[in-house]
Amino acid sequence: MSNASELSSLAALRILLLGLISFLPDSLVLGLLLSQVSTEQILILEPTLLTSRSYLNSTTNMDQSCESIPTNFTSVISMLTTSKQSHLVFKVGTKFHKDPSRYSNTGLGPSIHLFSTLETKQAVAHKSMFTPFFSPEAIRRVEPLIQDFVNKFMDKMHTAASSGNVVNLSQGFRCLTADVIMNYSFQRPLGALEASDFEFPLLNALDGFAHTIQWRLYFPNAVEALFQIIQVLPAKMMAGFMEPLRSTQECLSFCRNRILDLKKRSPSPLSNVPTVFDIMLNPNTSKGQWTPELPTLTSDALMLLLAGTNTTAHTLVVAVYNLIHSPHLVQRLVAELRGAMSEPCSQNDWANLEKLPYLRAVVKESLRLSYGAPGPLPRVVPPTGAFLAGQHIPPGTVVSLSNLVYNHDPRVFENPTQFRPERWLSGTTSEMERHMVSFSRGSRICLGMDLAYAELYLTLGHLFRRYQLELSGVTSADMEWDDMLVPITRGTLRVHVKESTM
Ligand code: HEM
């Protein structure tokens, strides 16, 4: 096994960490876990520590992993290897609830918010107060808002083209998506796109927060205890102590203040300029709606900021990086865009852009290789048990779908690591469509799927119609990523920009 030494050093590192904090119950649990699993089983667990490298080294063992589930070991993650099996678990009204060990420790806030609500029925009730704002029709209604921010982004590109400055697109895309989701959430400008060089402090804090997530997943009690202590220190000391935890605090305070301001503006009848918190702040109790407590609203806002910013921005990074690498793909895309927008500065809407076959293929392929939530999405087998992966799985076992594993399945996607939009243009894409689970499925499907689609089409369509881009010293190492609930690349995508002349 090529990655055996990597695994044993990882195991040694884990044990060392466990030793350091062995006075805490977290470490006890992990210690027991490590002493009971063999290397094969560590491979099954490995995707919880995903990086782009560790994933590629470990996938070849996925099939064996399913066969090696010990039936008496109730906390093993098994990968569901066919889309039929994932449909059993990830369906509307599923009885496979979210696994607390992943979802209760994300650090999105102390309270039960949508993302961390485990039980399907409870989550659906909560989610139904958001869904009217994220349906395709609702997103079409707020399309002018999205288009406004796309235009602002294009103006910044224009400035960079005139000055010859290098643009950090990783930051730029995050500013764009953050401005969209935060404006839609609060009807107040965030101003991220206005920041010089796209360096916006809240997004740097969000990055810091994201870097605490793996620690929280593995050592929830230790990190929480540290967090509690640090919170009472003066801000300056806090920063010196541990920047990421201070960042978490900053993100939570920002979201809490935005909710408090929104509450002050209530009660407003559902306005014609909606905020996604309208129903929650003006609930119709006869329909079973309610106003969650402030900590829950705060956590929901942070969830929207993280889920609505980094995911779509990462997909845009994957699209642009891979396109620029292959000029013939850009040529084909631009030729198609010229047909839909006669001048470089022309505009078109989401509905029309979505009809362009090649742009559509680029969006699909970028989603396939950007993974949204790249780690496992663990669910607990209900008390009835289940028959999955060819065997009976006892109640309480944790099973998981990983869209990263699905999106790379060589049985469905030929040369799966290659960026090939053409694969979506052949007549037979239905198996690929069924197999691609970038937004998950069923009751816990991504809330922001249509918003993400609108942002992807509008941004990529207008960007490639108006500008020519060239990488500025970006290597493939910059594009390696780590799983922090969302993928975060290790470097940034920097480009030179030129106006298109025709
Ligand atoms: C390319 C963009 C995106 C991708 C690939 C993506 C992917 C996903 C995936 C795979 C999940 C399931 C996670 C799990 O079960 O652990 C999810 C959930 C979620 N996403 Fe997205 N997402 C994207 C954009 C967005 C946007 C723009 C929003 C903003 C509203 C958003 C909000 C959410 C929320 C709130 C959930 C939790 C839903 C629930 O727990 O029921 N996502 N997303």
Within 10 Å of residue 485's Cβ, how many Cβ atoms? 25
Q: How far is the CA of 306 from the centre of ligand 1 (A)?
A: 9
Q: How far apart are CA 157 and CA 150, in angstroms?
A: 11
Residue 446 marked in a binding site:
yes
The predicted model scores a pTM of 0.86
Q: Strand ranges (DSSP E) for 361-492?
A: 377-380, 386-388, 391-393, 398-401, 467-471, 481-484, 486-489
CB neighbour list of residue 232: distance below 8 Å, 6 or more residues apart: none
186 lines ligand 1 (CB under 6 A): no
List the structure tokens of 166: 């290098």
310 lines ligand 1 (CB under 6 A): no
Confidence grade of residue 4 (pLDDT, cut at 50, 70, 90):
very low
Burial classification of residue 9, based on how many CB atoms lie within 10 Å of its CB (0-12 exposed, 13-18 middle, 19 or more buried): exposed
Task: Out of 25-29, 158-162, 285-289, pick the least confident.
Answer: 25-29
Q: How far is the CA of 439 from the centre of ligand 1 (A)?
A: 6
Please write the tens of the pLDDT for every residue from 93-145.
999 999 988 888 777 766 778 999 999 999 999 999 999 999 999 999 999 99
Which atom of ligand 1 sits closest to the CA of residue 451? Answer: 27
Q: Which amino acid is at 269?
A: P
pLDDT of residue 87: 79
Determine the topology of domain 69-499 in CATH.
Cytochrome p450 (1.10.630)
Q: How far is the CA of 236 from the centre of ligand 1 (A)?
A: 34
Task: Out of 250-259, 267-276, 410-419, pick the least confident.
Answer: 267-276
Q: How far is the CA of 391 from the centre of ligand 1 (A)?
A: 30
Which atom of ligand 1 sits closest to the CA of residue 127? Answer: 41
Within 10 Å of residue 84's Cβ, how many Cβ atoms? 10
CB neighbour list of residue 223: distance below 8 Å, 6 or more residues apart: 107, 212, 215, 216, 245
Confidence grade of residue 321 (pLDDT, cut at 50, 70, 90):
very high
Nearest protein CA to atom 16 of ligand 1, as residue: 377
Q: How far is the CA of 14 from the centre of ligand 1 (A)?
A: 30
Confidence grade of residue 79 (pLDDT, cut at 50, 70, 90):
low
∠ at Cα 139 (159, 150), nearest 5°? 5
Q: How far is the CA of 258 from the centre of ligand 1 (A)?
A: 21
Nearest protein CA to atom 17 of ligand 1, as residue: 446
pLDDT of residue 13: 53
Nearest protein CA to atom 1 of ligand 1, as residue: 312
Strands 78-79 and 398-401: parallel
Please write the tens of the pLDDT for every residue from 446-487.
999 999 999 999 999 999 999 999 999 999 999 999 888 888
Confidence grade of residue 52 (pLDDT, cut at 50, 70, 90):
low
311 lines ligand 1 (CB under 6 A): yes
Q: Say if residues 247 and 206 touch (Cβ distance below 8 Å).
A: yes
Q: How far apart are CA 365 and CA 432, in angstroms?
A: 11
- Which of 311, 437, 445 is the best mutation target for the ligand 1 pocket, counting ligand atoms within 8 Å of the beta carbon and taking the most? 311
Q: Say if residues 292 and 104 touch (Cβ distance below 8 Å).
A: no
- Which of 89, 446, 457, 484 is the best mutation target for the ligand 1 pocket, counting ligand atoms within 8 Å of the beta carbon and taking the most? 446
pLDDT of residue 88: 83
Burial classification of residue 381, based on how many CB atoms lie within 10 Å of its CB (0-12 exposed, 13-18 middle, 19 or more buried): buried
